[in-house]
Structure 1
Amino acid sequence: MTTAIHFRTCPAPALDRDRKRLLRDIALGHLLATSIAALTLAAGPAWAQSPQPSQAPQAQQAPQSPQATPAPQPPELTGAAWVAADRAYAAQREKRYADAVTYAREALKLRPDAPRLWLLLMDALDAQGKTAEAVVAGNAAIAAGITDQALTARVRSQSRVLAQEPSVAANKALEASNPKAAIEQARKAVALVPDDLSYRVLLVYTLLADGQLEAADKAASEAIQVDPQSFLPRTLRGYVRMRLGKVAEAEQDFDTALKDEVLTGPTAHDARLVMADAAIAAGHPQRAIKLLEPVEPDAAVQARLRVARAQERNPKVVPANAAQTLPVPFQKCIDTPYGPSCSLIPATTPPGGGGQRHPRLRRRARGLRRLSRGE
Structure 2
Amino acid sequence: MNARLTSIAAATLIALAGGTAVAAPAAAPDTAQAALKGPVFKLANQAFAAYNAKRYAQAEQLARRAIAMRPDVLRLRMLLIYALQKQGKNAEALEAVNNAQAGGLQSDELTQAKSNLKGGGGDAGETQSAAFRQGFPIATQAFADYNAQQYESSAKLAEQALRIDPSQGTWALLWITALEAQKQLQAAIDAADTAIALGTPNRQDLVARKQALRKSMSVAPAVSAYQALIAFDGAKAVGFAREAVALSPDTQSHRLLLMTALQLNRQIADGETAATEALQQDDEDTTALVMRAYFRQFQGKTALANKDFDEAIAQDWLEDEQRASLRLIAADAALVAGDYERAKTLVAPLDANDKAVAERLKKIASREPPPQEITAASYPPPAQDCRLTPYGSVCDLRPADGASTASAKAYAAYGKQDYQEAIIQAQKAVEQSPDSPAMHRLLTVALAAGNTQQQEQAMQRIATELEATPDDAGLLMQRAYIHQRRKEPELALEDFRAARATGKAPALAILDEGYALARTGRKAEAVATLKQAIDQSDTNELELDRGQRYNTRGAISGLSREWGASVSTSYRGARPAGSGLNGTPVTTGSDSVFGMADVYWRPPEFLNSSTQVFEVYGRVMSTLHGGSSTTGEQTIVDPCTGRPAPINAARNDGVSGLPTTIGSLGLRFTPSTDYALTFGLERRFLLGSNTRSGSITPASADLRCQLSGRDPAQPGAPVVGNAQSILFDANASSGGWLAYATYGFYHGTGLRFDVPSWFTVEGYVQGGYYREDLSADFWMRDQNTGANGERQRGKYRRDQWFANAEARAGRSFRIDAVSDRLMLFPHLVLALDYQRQNYRAHVPGFDETVRVLGNGSTWSAGGGAGMSVRYAFREDRYHAPRSYVDWTVQYRTNLGGGEADRAKGWFMSLSMWY
Normalized against structure 2, the TM-score is what? Answer: 0.33
Partner residue of 1:336 out of 389, 403, 407: 389
The 1:195/1:144 distance shift into structure 2, 3 A limit, reads farther
Match of 1:308 in 2: 364
**Separation in 2 of the partners of 1:326 and 1:279?**
11
Q: Is the 8 A contact 1:24 1:171 kept in 2?
A: no
Partner residue of 1:160 out of 212, 215, 237: 215
Matching residue's letter, 1:50: T
Match of 2:488 in 1: none
Match of 1:71 in 2: none
Q: Is the 8 A contact 2:9 2:257 kept in 1?
A: no
Match of 1:51 in 2: 112
Match of 2:4 in 1: 14
Q: Is the 8 A contact 2:384 2:395 kept in 1?
A: yes
| 1:314-338 CA distance string (max 9 Å, x none) | xx53334348852122423212233
Q: Tell whether 2:191 aligns with 1:137.
A: yes
**Separation in 2 of the partners of 1:115 and 1:244?**
52
| 1:309-368 CA distance string (max 9 Å, x none) | 333xxxx5333434885212242321223332112242339xxxxxxxx887544999xx
Describe the SS at the equivalent of 1:50: helix
Describe the SS at the equivalent of 2:112: coil
**Separation in 1 of the partners of 2:130 and 2:315?**
49
Unaligned runs of 5+ in 1: 1-11, 58-73, 350-357
Identity %: 30
Matching residue's letter, 2:360: R
**Separation in 1 of the partners of 2:134 and 2:250?**
39
Match of 1:276 in 2: 331
Matching residue's letter, 1:340: S
Q: Quote the offset at 1:238 in angstroms.
A: 0.7
Q: Map 1:213-362 to 2 at 5 A.
A: 213-297=268-352, 298-311=354-367, 317-322=369-374, 325-348=378-401, 362=416
**Separation in 1 of the partners of 2:260 and 2:370?**
26
| 1:262-287 CA distance string (max 9 Å, x none) | 43243323222111100111222121
Q: Tell whether 2:243 aligns with 1:188.
A: yes
Q: Is the 8 A contact 2:23 2:216 kept in 1?
A: yes
**Separation in 2 of the partners of 1:340 and 1:283?**
35
Q: Tell whether 2:164 aligns with 1:110.
A: yes
Q: Report how many residues are paired.
A: 326
More helix by share: 1
**Separation in 1 of the partners of 2:275 and 2:364?**
28
Q: Quote the offset at 1:221 in angstroms.
A: 0.4
Matching residue's letter, 1:296: D
Higher mean alpha-carbon deviation, 232-241 vs 82-91, is at: 82-91
Matching residue's letter, 1:303: E
Match of 1:38 in 2: 23
| 1:297-316 CA distance string (max 9 Å, x none) | 311111112222333xxxx5
**Separation in 2 of the partners of 1:243 and 1:24?**
21
Describe the SS at the equivalent of 2:283: coil
Matching residue's letter, 1:269: A
Q: Is the 8 A contact 1:189 1:199 kept in 2?
A: yes
The 1:270/1:290 distance shift into structure 2, 3 A limit, reads same
Q: Is the 8 A contact 2:26 2:177 kept in 1?
A: no
Describe the SS at the equivalent of 1:341: strand
Q: Quote the offset at 1:34 in angstroms.
A: 1.9
| 1:231-280 CA distance string (max 9 Å, x none) | 11011001111112211111111111113344324332322211110011
The 1:318/1:144 distance shift into structure 2, 3 A limit, reads farther
C-alpha RMSD of the superposition: 3.5
Describe the SS at the equivalent of 1:317: coil
Q: Is the 8 A contact 1:88 1:104 kept in 2?
A: yes
The 1:247/1:340 distance shift into structure 2, 3 A limit, reads same
Describe the SS at the equivalent of 2:183: coil
Q: Is the 8 A contact 1:82 1:107 kept in 2?
A: yes
Match of 1:355 in 2: none
Q: Quote the offset at 1:87 in angstroms.
A: 2.5
Match of 1:60 in 2: none
Higher mean alpha-carbon deviation, 152-161 vs 268-277, is at: 152-161
**Separation in 2 of the partners of 1:335 and 1:158?**
23
**Separation in 1 of the partners of 2:3 and 2:361?**
23
| 1:15-54 CA distance string (max 9 Å, x none) | 4xxx69x85785465134322x736xx6454643332374
The 1:359/1:85 distance shift into structure 2, 3 A limit, reads closer
The 1:29/1:77 distance shift into structure 2, 3 A limit, reads same
Describe the SS at the equivalent of 1:275: helix
Match of 1:89 in 2: 143
Describe the SS at the equivalent of 2:141: helix
Q: Is the 8 A contact 2:18 2:393 kept in 1?
A: no
Matching residue's letter, 1:306: K
Match of 1:203 in 2: 258
**Separation in 2 of the partners of 1:363 and 1:236?**
24
Highest RCO, 1 vs 2 (Cα 8 Å, sep ≥ 6)? 1
Higher mean alpha-carbon deviation, 339-348 vs 299-308, is at: 339-348
| 1:151-173 CA distance string (max 9 Å, x none) | 33333333322222211111111
The 1:338/1:158 distance shift into structure 2, 3 A limit, reads same
**Separation in 2 of the partners of 1:140 and 1:118?**
9
Q: Is the 8 A contact 1:238 1:253 kept in 2?
A: yes
The 1:180/1:127 distance shift into structure 2, 3 A limit, reads same
Matching residue's letter, 1:208: Q
The 1:95/1:259 distance shift into structure 2, 3 A limit, reads same
Matching residue's letter, 2:324: H
**Separation in 2 of the partners of 1:97 and 1:105?**
12
Q: Quote the offset at 1:77 in angstroms.
A: 4.9
Matching residue's letter, 1:326: Y
Describe the SS at the equivalent of 1:340: strand
**Separation in 2 of the partners of 1:104 and 1:359?**
54
Matching residue's letter, 1:38: A
Higher mean alpha-carbon deviation, 333-342 vs 25-34, is at: 25-34
| 1:153-212 CA distance string (max 9 Å, x none) | 333333322222211111111011011111111112112211111111111111112221
Matching residue's letter, 1:317: P
The 1:96/1:38 distance shift into structure 2, 3 A limit, reads closer
Q: Is the 8 A contact 1:282 1:323 kept in 2?
A: no
Q: Is the 8 A contact 1:204 1:216 kept in 2?
A: yes
Matching residue's letter, 2:381: V
**Separation in 2 of the partners of 1:323 and 1:183?**
19
Q: Is the 8 A contact 1:197 1:226 kept in 2?
A: no
Q: Is the 8 A contact 1:47 1:92 kept in 2?
A: no
The 1:103/1:44 distance shift into structure 2, 3 A limit, reads closer
More strand by share: 2
**Separation in 1 of the partners of 2:358 and 2:231?**
36
Of structures 1 and 2, the larger Rg is shown by 2
**Separation in 1 of the partners of 2:374 and 2:150?**
64
